[in-house]
Structure 1
Amino acid sequence: IISEVGRLDIRAQAAKICVYRFIQEALSNATRHAGASKILVTATEDDQHIRIAVEDNGTGFVRSSDEDGLGLVGLEERLAGLGGHLDIASDAQAGTRICMTLPKRTAE
């Protein structure tokens, strides 16, 4: 995880904190709630965006605003404040993939 994320060009402190909190929350959810035995973290960037995805093989979930924990809501708010967004794909048979996207201009 460290080597993948460490290669990204993130200089802004707020963006660094956002990336750290995203990975922390995604790993915590995968181990604590989904019972995942495998977790894959990937980090990519292009000229305009930084993307970090966390995929697991745990039990998926159906997202409901009534049941959302503060972690996902907090992540979405933090990302929105930096011009980014959060995408979540979850399936009980295939685990969960959570991906954050940040504009490169925010990370500089």
Structure 2
Amino acid sequence: MTTSQAYLSDLFSLDGRVALVTGGSSGIGRAVAEALARAGARVVIVARREAELLQTVGELEALGARAAWVSADLGTRDGVRAAAEEAVGAFGEPDILVNSAGVNLRPP
């Protein structure tokens, strides 16, 4: 590794950090989860669909990342609270939070 690569790796490394990404099983959230995992963070993804969560975590683990998932509906305060408590059980309190869950329904 060149000196500049080592410098940037040390500067931007997320080794030892925990990231929680809502909407992490698809779209932008999934891309962000992968980027954080590749930077060294342990990643917990939160979304509704278990099959997509399992697939995404499997792909992150195939990259050598540590990843976990929580299936939750974040449309209610109770859902958010339950998801947060379950997510902490995977790797501890998050250092990074990315809110990417959402729906953009567009009428024809």
TM range (shorter): under 0.3
TM-score, length of structure 1 as denominator length: 0.28
Task: Please tell me whether Structure 1 or Structure 2 has the larger radius of gyration of its CA atoms.
Answer: 2
Larger % of helix: which? 2
TM superposition score normalised by structure 2: 0.28
Higher strand share: 1
